[in-house]
Amino acid sequence: MSKKLIILLGGLMAMAFVLAACGDDEDKSGPANTPVPTSAPANTPVPTAMLPLQEGTLVVAVDENIGAAFGTNFNGSSEVSTWAMETLTRKNNQGDVIPGIAESWTVSADGTKITWKIRPNVPFHDHRGDWGNVTAADVKFSVENSYGDGSAHGRAGVLRRVENMVVVDDNTLEMTVPAGEHLNIISSLNITVIVGAKIMSEDYFNSVGADKAAIEWVGAGPFRHIETQVGDRILFEAVDDHYFKNAEFAKAEARIIPERATQLAGVRAGEVDLALLTPDFIPEVAEANVKIVRGNGGNMSYMRFHGNYLPERAGADPKDGFTKTSGEFKPENSAVVGDPDDPVSWENARKVREAMNLAIDRQAIIDTLYAGVAPLMTNPAWTPGSKWEDPSVQIPTFDPVRAKELMVEAGYADGFKGLLIYSMGGRAADDQASEAMAADWDKYLNITFDRQIYERGVHRAASVNRTLGTDRATLQFSAYGNNYFEPWFWLNSGTSWDTDSLLCCEHDFFEQTLADIRANIADDTLRLEKTRAAHKFMTENFLTIPLALIPIMFMSSDAIDNWDEYPVGASNFSYPEFIVKAN
């Protein structure tokens, strides 16, 4: 290994561990401790728009998945749509919720009403026509669209909990929510959520129709959308009077370049300014003498078990379409699924999940696939070293001998065969991590897998319907960003029976924990206590297979100075207005 590469990796490892290390002092635990405010203080600073300095074109290389236009709904999964779109709130790089399109908000004493004050005189940007300024009616329309039929919104289950919205006037929106839900809903409306509730002109949407609005974005972001050349590139032009911050580049282009080697060649040639860098590609980038920049935060990567659903649910929400017997629950078909009402069934499944945790060499995977820069974690959503972790919880150690003993105790001495799901367009390193885990399970436990590639709309629908993982043991590698959220938000959207984006499992323990938090939402001590208890319960029952916090990094041309103000936990290409040009 070259001296240059050793120095680079050492520096990146130091950055990764600084991100993870927070110490025992709760005041030093970083952004993960920052609560979502119940109001936006009147003195909350909002950056003054820069003097027009735009010149040049920012070219960002994206893969086909990220660069794709919206699907059936304008709140689809394209990250670069955030360049043209805005949301009610934003996040700063300490993880604080700050005003966005909403210049302020207040929450009623009982926590059931959020009153949003919409920033006046913020125009929609469209070179094809004039759609006026953002109004409360546009916000209402956009939030409703986020959880409408066919929505690909990752927080649809949370936003469906909004019970009612009333447009008081052009700049005031009242939102009625269940008691205890306002923090989670406020946090689900910001731009750092990859499919945040982006604000679009209702008049524009109704005028041109959903299909055209899906590829010709009209929003209030720092760039106006110019053109989507499907399968090739998406073109933007900076606005010079953005309410929050002007971009330093006059134009921006999201160019679809699927191959990393081609992206790197483009950066070296000065044809591409920025491309997402996964840790496994660091050696090639270092060898090419290409600069690396990074944003705050990262993706919490883990393997999840499908099929752990509650056999019955406590209630039904007509808006979600769930009933008391919705979904399927068949622990007899899956070694990793246990019946919580049957102690023997639950314990045997727990032992299998523990065995699978102990049979993988996590550090070897990190060293081989992620250049050693990603700190291991105890569970998804719990930032390593944060105060929300139960201090007694430890990362599972590599112990294949004990793993085999557990399989024998659980009645699976000869192993079993399951299904490993891959998402179409997934990151290569994540797919390789899945294969590395599968190789260890085959080697030490005689667990083998069929492989199946799913489009997001297919496996998500099966997860929503609670049918995925009911015919055999089914696993899927996942990555959860936005790690500044209080971890119980993740429980709320990932384990609650009424979510449509199940990220872990359903269990009465989680239902009671969430009920207690919602009933005492203003009690910081109780939220901490309950969140730590959930962390311990999840870990002791091995309800996921945690891997690591994968930092967000980019290979960069010399045209870029830094991206230091990149918000904590933001999606990969949000906030391009904070990209600082080199002199």
* Same-domain status, 477 and 563: no
Give the number of other Cβ atoms within 10 Å of residue 261's Cβ: 11
Contact 88, 100 (CB under 8 A): yes
Among residues 161, 87, 150, 229, which one has the least CA distance to residue 571?
87
The tokens for 548 are: 């690591």
Q: Any idea how long the chain is?
A: 583
In 21-79, where does DSSP find H-type helix?
64-67
Q: For residues 520 and 494, what is the distance between their CA atoms, to the nearest angstrom?
A: 20
Does the residue 296 lie in any domain? no
The CATH number of the domain holding residue 105 is 3.40.190.10
Residue 3 lies in a domain: no
The pLDDT assigned to 408 comes to 98
In Å, what is the CA distance from 341 to each residue of 311, 335, 473, 482, 533?
9, 16, 20, 34, 20
In a domain, 27, yes or no: no
Query: Of all helices (H) and strands (E), which one includes residue 281?
Result: none
Range 531-556 burial, b when 16+ CB lie within 10 A, else e? bbebbbebbebbbbbbbbbbbbbbbb
Structural domains in the chain (count) = 2
Question: Does residue 282 sit within a domain?
Answer: no
User: In this structure, what token pair is assigned to residue 285?
Assistant: 């980038």
Rounded distance between C-alpha atoms, residue 91 and residue 150, angstroms: 27
Alpha-carbon distance values, 58 to 232, 314, 378 (Å): 16, 51, 38
Q: Are residues 161 and 119 in the same domain?
A: yes
User: Looking at the domain assignment, is residue 378 inside a domain?
Assistant: yes
237 and 326 both lie in a single domain: no
CA atoms of 392 and 381, how far apart (whole Å): 17
105 and 138, same domain (yes or no): yes
Rg (CA), the chain: 23
- Domain-embedded: residue 63: yes
Q: Is residue 7 part of a domain?
A: no
Task: Please list, in sequence order, all residues whose beta carbon lies within 8 angstroms of the beta carbon of residue 274, skipping any fewer than 6 positions away.
Answer: 58, 59, 60, 61, 267, 293, 554, 555, 556, 557, 560, 579
Instruction: Please give the pLDDT value at position 488.
Output: 87
Query: Does one domain contain both 390 and 414?
Result: yes
196 and 319 inside one domain: no
Same domain, 314 and 187: no
Q: Do 311 and 257 share a structural domain?
A: no
The answer to whether residues 569 and 544 belong to one domain is no
Q: What is the distance between the alpha carbons of residues 234 and 224, in angstroms, rounded to a whole number? A: 11
pTM: 0.75
DSSP state of 219: B
pLDDT in tens, 49-60: 444 456 899 999
Contact 376, 368 (CB under 8 A): no
My answer on whether 399 and 507 are in the same domain is: yes
For the stretch 182-193, pLDDT in tens is 888 888 887 665
- Same-domain status, 259 and 375: no
Q: How far is the C-alpha of 192 from the C-alpha of 202, rounded, in Å?
A: 22
Contact present, 506 and 493 (Cβ < 8 Å): no
Question: What Cα–Cα distance (Å) separates residue 456 from each residue in 40, 195, 571?
Answer: 35, 14, 18
Distance CA 582, CA 265 (A): 20
Residue pLDDT tens, the chain, 583 long? 443 333 333 343 333 333 333 333 333 223 333 345 555 544 344 444 444 456 899 999 987 655 333 434 444 446 788 889 888 988 877 777 889 999 999 999 888 999 999 999 999 999 888 999 999 999 999 998 887 776 666 677 788 889 999 999 999 999 999 988 888 888 888 766 555 688 989 999 999 988 788 778 899 999 999 998 888 899 999 998 899 999 999 999 999 998 999 999 999 999 999 998 988 889 999 999 999 987 777 888 999 999 998 876 544 443 444 444 456 788 999 999 999 989 999 999 999 999 999 999 999 999 988 888 889 999 988 888 888 999 999 999 999 999 999 999 999 999 999 999 987 556 777 889 999 999 999 999 999 999 998 765 566 667 767 788 889 999 999 877 655 568 888 887 778 766 666 788 889 899 899 999 988 888 889 999 999 999 999 999 999 999 998 888 899 999 999 887 777 666 678 788 888 898 7
The answer to whether position 4 is within a domain reads: no
322 CB-near residues (< 8 Å, 6+ apart) = 313, 316, 497, 498
Rounded to a whole number of angstroms, the distance between the first and last alpha carbons of the chain is: 33
Nearest to 474 by CA among 416, 515, 532, 521: 416
On whether the CB atoms of residues 316 and 322 are closer than 8 A, the answer is yes
Range of the structural domain that residue 150 is part of: 53-273+557-581
Nearest to 457 by CA among 65, 129, 116: 65
Q: What is the CATH number for 382?
A: 3.10.105.10
Provide the pairing of β-strand 172-176 with 102-107.
unpaired
Q: Taking Cα atoms as reference points, which of 326, 333, 296 lies closest to residue 311?
A: 326
Same domain membership, residue 379 and residue 525: yes
Contacts 24+ apart (CB under 8 A), 2-9: 2/286, 2/287, 4/286, 5/282, 5/283, 5/286, 5/287, 8/282, 8/286, 8/292, 9/282, 9/286, 9/371, 9/372, 9/373
